[in-house]
Amino acid sequence: MDAKKLVEVAASYIGQREINGNLGFRDDDFEHKMKAVGWSKTHSWCCYFMEMVAKEADASPDEWEAFDRLFAPSCTATYANFAGSKMFKVGKVPKPGALMVWRLGQGWKGHIGRGESVKGDVVMTIEGNTDSAGGREGVEVARKRRRNVWTNGKGLNLVGYIYLC
């Protein structure tokens, strides 16, 4: 897969918004695509968005099949699945196109975004189920400025990066 294509596809969805409460999406075509990768009402959708983008970014048939197995509704489970895969690698270095995975505190909940660019310890990401205004409740696909910081106490703690290319 091509990192530039992954970022390009993700960026094409910036501004897509949900119906509050993860009840659907304002754009019917976007909702149809999200349902095609397994999303259903009330589910958090950041992982589903990343799977949809990966599949749309010219995934090969083998990659498509692997994504069906490896992506999960849970970001932390998704990371564990990819870490156990022989087809893809995980690591600690941010790269454009890589998936950036966080865990909320020490629990199973988390979040995922796609790295768009890296400069020092700052990673610009494109994320689904987030808030461009900085609020906690995710409502849209947006660009975010994140730091390559591994621990944030009870907040989002970086788990690592998934490299699809």
CATH (one of 3.90.1200.10, 3.30.1370.140, 3.40.630.190, 3.90.1720.10) for 3-163: 3.90.1720.10
Residues of the chain falling short of pLDDT 70: 136, 153-154
pLDDT given for residue 29 in this prediction: 98
pLDDT at 136: 67
Cα–Cα distance, 31 to 122 (Å, whole number): 31
Q: How far is CA 129 from CA 4, 17, 44, 135, in A?
A: 22, 8, 7, 11
Q: How far, in Å, CA of 79 to CA of 120, rounded?
A: 24
The overall pTM is greater than 0.85:
yes
pLDDT for 37: 97
Q: Are 102 and 159 in contact (CB under 8 A)?
A: yes
**What pLDDT sits at residue 108?**
79
SS (H, E, C) the chain: CCHHHHHHHHHCCCCCEEECCCCEECCHHHHHHHHHCCCCCCCCCHHHHHHHHHHHCCCCHHHHHHHHHHCCCCHHHHHHHHHCCCCCEEECCCCCCCEEEEEECCCCCEEEEEEEEEECCEEEEEEEEECCCCCCCCCEEEEEEEECCCCCCCCEEEEEEEECC
